[in-house]
Structure 1
Amino acid sequence: MTAPSAYPPPIAELLPQARTLAEQIGRTPSRNTLMKTFKIGAPKATAVLEALAAEEATVPPAEPEPPAPRPLHLVPDLEPDTAPDAEPIETPAAVEPPAPAEVPEPEPLATGDGHPGANITAEPERIPPVAAPRKVRKPRSWPVVLLALPAFVAIWSGWVGLGEQTGFGVVHPFPGIWDGFTLNTAITLPIGVETYAAYALAVWLNGTAPAAARSFARWSAIGSLIFGGLGQVAYHLLTAAGITHAPWQITTVVACLPVAVLGMGAALAHLIHADHE
C-alpha cells in the first residue's frame, strides 16, 4: 500500500503534472498510477482524474491528419510480357497488425479512511459437515411398574374398604339371567378414580394433545390425585376410630365419584378428538 504524503499538494499543482504524465504515457493515467507517482491518496487521485476528464471534455477534438501516401515498389514478372511497354502492377503493402491494447491495472479496495488497502480475496464460506444425529437411549419404564405394585395394593384396599363403609357391596348384576354371578361394587372406586388420574396425566405430559385437552387433563389429573389421597385418609381415620359406617357427608361424596369419573373421561376424549378433527 502506498503511504500518503504528510503534506499532500493541492489539485491545482497536481493537475499540470498529471497532464504531463498523460502525454508521456500516451493515455490518461489510472488512479493507481497517480497514487504511486505523486504519493497521494485515493480521494485526491480521483479528483485529479475528474479534473483531467473535464479538461478533455472542453478541448475540441483535433482533425485527423490525412494518411501519408504509401511508397510504391516494383514486383518483377515471373513470365515475360509480350507487350513491349507493359506497366508494372502495383501491389498493396502488407498491413501491420494493430498493437495490443493495454489492460488497466486492477484498483485496490479502499479502506475505511479512503486510502487503498491490500487486495482482499473473499474466501468461500465453509459449511461445517452435518454430524449424524445420535440416538438417545430412553430410560426404562419397568421401575414404574415395580413402584406401582405396592401403591396399587394400598389404594385398592383403601377404596374397597371405604366403599363398603359407604354402602357399596355385593350385588347381582344379572338377576334372572345369571343369579349365581355376583359383583362387589366397591371395586368401581379404585378402578374409576385412579385409572382416570393416570389417563389424564398421560394426556397432559405427552404433549401431543391439543391445548384445550391438555389444560383440562392437567387440572382434572391434579384434582383426581388430591381426591384419591383424601379418600385414603378418610378410610384410615374411620378404621382407626372403629367406625364401620361412614357419615352421610362422606357417603354422599363417595357415591358421586363414579358419575364424576365418567363425565371427566368423556369430556377429555371429546376434547382430544374434536380438536384433531
Structure 2
Amino acid sequence: MTAPTINGTRYPQPIEHLLPAARALDLPDGEAFPSRNRLMREFRIGAPKAGELLALLKTEPATQPADTTEPATTDPAVPEPAPPVEPDPTPAPEITTPEPPAEASAVSRPDTPTPPPTPAPPRRAVAWPVVLLALPAFVAIWSGWVGLGGLTGFGIVHPLPGIWDSFSINSAITLPIGVETYGAYALYVWLSGRVPAPALRFAKWSALGSLVVGALGQVAYHLLVAAGITSAPWWITTAVACLPVAVLGMGAALAHLVRTHD
C-alpha cells in the first residue's frame, strides 16, 4: 500500500497528514497562521477542509514538524487528535428598531404642516330687492306695451268662438309678456355662462336686442300719446305686429341651442 503524499491530487489527504506540513510553511513577517486560500493552494484541498485545517492550527500548540524526507514506506507520526472547534455560543445581538411611545404616535409630528382651515362659503346675495325694483318697472312697461298695442290694432278678441263665446282677452298683453319675458330669459342664459358657446352668443345679442326693442316701444308709445295721435303710423304698426312672431322664433332657437352640446 502506497503512503499518501502531501501535494498529491489522486487521493484525498487526511487532516492528520496535512497538519505538520501546514505548520512547516514559511509565513511572512507579522502572520502567525497561513491563510485559508494558501492552504487550499499548497495542498490542493477544498475550502471546508482548508477551514478545518486552519482551525486545528489555531487551537493546537505548535509541535516539532515531522520529517518529510523519510521513505515513503515509513508511516508518519500521528498527532494527537485536536479537540473539536465549538462555535461561539454567544448569539449575535439583534438590531431592533425602538417603537415610538404611544403618546408620540397619537400626536401629530411637529414638522408636519397643518392644513389651512377651510374658508367658509361666501353668503349668496339676497334677491328680494330685485322684486321691489321690478314692480314699478313692470307697471310702466305693461301699461306702455298695452297702450301701444291699442294704437296699432291690438284689442279685445274672442279666442274661442263657438266654444266659449263669452271668453275674451285683450291681445295687447302678448307684447309685454313676449318681449320682456324673452329679454329677461335671454339675459339670464347669457350671464349664467353654463351653456354652449353658440347659445351664449345668441343669448347675449338677442337679450340686448330685446331690451333695445322694449325701450323703443316705450318711447314710441309716449311720443304718440303726447302728440295726441290715436292711430300709429304704418311702419310702427308693422314692427309691433311682427314682435310676437319674432319672440316665438328667438325663444325656440335659444331653447334648442341651450340643449345642444355639439
Distance 2:81 2:160 in 1: 136
Q: Give the alignment of 1:245-256 within 5 angstroms.
A: 245-256=231-242
- What does residue 136 of structure 1 align with? 122
Residue 190, structure 1, aligned to residue 188, structure 2: no
- What does residue 173 of structure 1 align with? 159
Instruction: Tell me if structure 1 keeps the 8 A contact 2:179–2:210.
Output: yes
1:160 aligns with one of 116, 132, 146: 146
Distance 1:252 1:173 in 2: 22
Measured against aligned partners, the alpha-carbon deviations of 1:7-34 in whole angstroms (never above 9, x if no partner) come to xxxxxxxxxxxxxxxxxxxxxxxxxxxx
Q: Give the alignment of 1:32-181 within 5 angstroms.
A: 70-71=60-61, 89-92=80-83, 126-181=112-167
- What does residue 271 of structure 1 align with? 257
Instruction: Tell me if structure 1 keeps the 8 A contact 2:196–2:260.
Output: no
Quickly say closer, same or farther: Cα 1:255–1:133, change in 2 above 3 A.
same
SS in 2 for 1:244: coil
Instruction: Tell me if structure 2 keeps the 8 A contact 1:171–1:185.
Output: yes
Distance 1:140 1:188 in 2: 31
1:208 aligns with one of 180, 194, 204: 194
- What does residue 96 of structure 2 align with? none
SS in 1 for 2:259: helix
SS in 1 for 2:178: helix
SS in 1 for 2:147: helix
Distance 1:154 1:186 in 2: 14
Instruction: Tell me if structure 1 keeps the 8 A contact 2:150–2:172.
Output: yes
How many angstroms does 1:247 deviate by?
0.4
Distance 1:130 1:207 in 2: 31
- What does residue 228 of structure 1 align with? 214
Counterpart code for 1:218 = K
Q: Is the deviation greater in 204-213 or in 223-232?
A: 204-213
Counterpart code for 1:71 = P
Instruction: Tell me if structure 2 keeps the 8 A contact 1:163–1:189.
Output: yes
Quickly say closer, same or farther: Cα 1:96–1:269, change in 2 above 3 A.
closer
Distance 2:235 2:145 in 1: 16
How many angstroms does 1:274 deviate by?
2.3
How many angstroms does 1:218 deviate by?
0.6
Q: Is the deviation greater in 128-137 or in 220-229?
A: 128-137
Instruction: Tell me if structure 2 keeps the 8 A contact 1:72–1:90.
Output: no
Counterpart code for 1:174 = L
SS in 1 for 2:260: helix
TM-score (norm 2): 0.60
Counterpart code for 2:197 = A
Distance 2:133 2:151 in 1: 28
Instruction: Tell me if structure 2 keeps the 8 A contact 1:192–1:258.
Output: yes
Quickly say closer, same or farther: Cα 1:126–1:161, change in 2 above 3 A.
same
- What does residue 31 of structure 2 align with? none
Distance 2:258 2:79 in 1: 111
Residue 259, structure 1, aligned to residue 242, structure 2: no
How many angstroms does 1:235 deviate by?
0.5
Quickly say closer, same or farther: Cα 1:149–1:93, change in 2 above 3 A.
same
How many angstroms does 1:207 deviate by?
1.7
Bigger CA radius of gyration? 2
How many angstroms does 1:93 deviate by?
7.9
CA RMSD for the aligned pairs?
Answer: 3.0
Structure 2, unmatched stretches of 5+, are 1-36, 43-53, 64-77, 89-109
Distance 1:256 1:126 in 2: 70
